[in-house]
Amino acid sequence: MAASVTAGATFVAGSPVALFSATLAPGAGANKQEYMVSRDGRFLINQPMEESSTTPITLILNWKPQP
């Protein structure tokens, strides 16, 4: 969101408007951070992953083949 600001003898803020639309990750709520803003104003937003038709990878750890 952004709002225009007029500073002078009095401070006047305009009506806020959306800068862009974003779909937040499922489960994001009061206890989970949904975004991070850096000092220079750039930011990251958690977004849900898109469905994929790729086959998942199976990883086997500590496998020892029979001699």
- Residue 18's pLDDT band, with cuts at 50, 70 and 90, is confident
- What single-letter DSSP state applies at residue 26? T
Reading the block at residue 47, the tokens are: 């977004």
Answer with the residue of higher pLDDT: 11 or 51. Answer: 11
Mean pLDDT across the stretch 24-38? 67
Report pTM.
Answer: 0.38
CB of 35 closer than 8 Å to CB of 45: yes
